[in-house]
Amino acid sequence: MQIVAATPQDLESFFTYLQSQLSDNASNGQPLFQPLAKAHRHLSETTRNKFIHGFDHGLGKSAWRKLWLEAVS
């Protein structure tokens, strides 16, 4: 297994994955695995933008974000 830093091109796939996870959060008796209310089981534009623009900020800067992915061979 190899862990690699995500690039902006990886974000749409990540957003699809994250939306799926959020949709399942505490639904149909599933456990709560995100600290979000059941009513907030969607990926907001605000959250999407935080990831998109987080690549523009350096380590330690306000709004900085880094996303790590498992490389698939």
Residues 6+ apart with CB under 8 A from 10: 67, 69
Instruction: Note the maximum CA span of the chain.
Output: 40
Phi, psi of 12 (to 5 degrees): -60, -40
CB 20 within 8 A of CB 44: no
- Delimit the domains of the chain by residue range: 2-71
Per-residue pLDDT for the chain (73 aa), expressed as one digit of tens each? Answer: 899 999 999 999 999 988 888 887 667 777 766 666 666 678 889 989 999 999 889 888 989 999 999 988 7
Residue 53 in tokens: 């623009």
